[in-house]
Amino acid sequence: MIYPHVKRQQCWVHKLRNVVQKLRARHQLACLRGARKIDLAANKTEAIKCFKVWKKKWGKLAPKAVACLEEDLEELLTFLMRIRIMVKDSDD
């Protein structure tokens, strides 16, 4: 690894594309709307709360989709918070 101290990041768009493949067609829109709330949270604490609500709702209906998102949640939130910091800094 070239930069061993850099946190691993993942992009929400690419991850949600993987999640949608694990959903039945009739659940895709509603499930992804809920997942987007995680992405749009103001901070990591709120994002985790949103994830828990989303997981509770979709855990039984779409366990593979929930597992897909959960396995990379920390990396997704790292990306989310890094982008928020960059945007905030560029607005100043």
Contact yes or no for 78/5 (Cβ under 8 A): no
Is the residue at 68 inside a domain?
Answer: yes
pLDDT score of 1 more than 90: no
- Hey, CA dihedral for 76, 77, 78, 83, is it positive or negative? positive
Domains of the chain: total = 1
* pTM metric for this prediction: 0.77
Is the residue at 7 inside a domain?
Answer: no
Domain containing residue 76: 12-91
With cut-offs at 50, 70 and 90, classify the pLDDT of residue 92. low
**What digits encode the pLDDT tens for the residues 20-57?**
999 999 999 999 999 999 988 888 899 999 999 999 99
Contact yes or no for 54/25 (Cβ under 8 A): no
Of 15, 31, 70, 63, the closest CA to residue 47 belongs to 70
Residue 78 corresponds to which tokens in the numbers above? 């790292």
Is the residue at 28 inside a domain?
Answer: yes
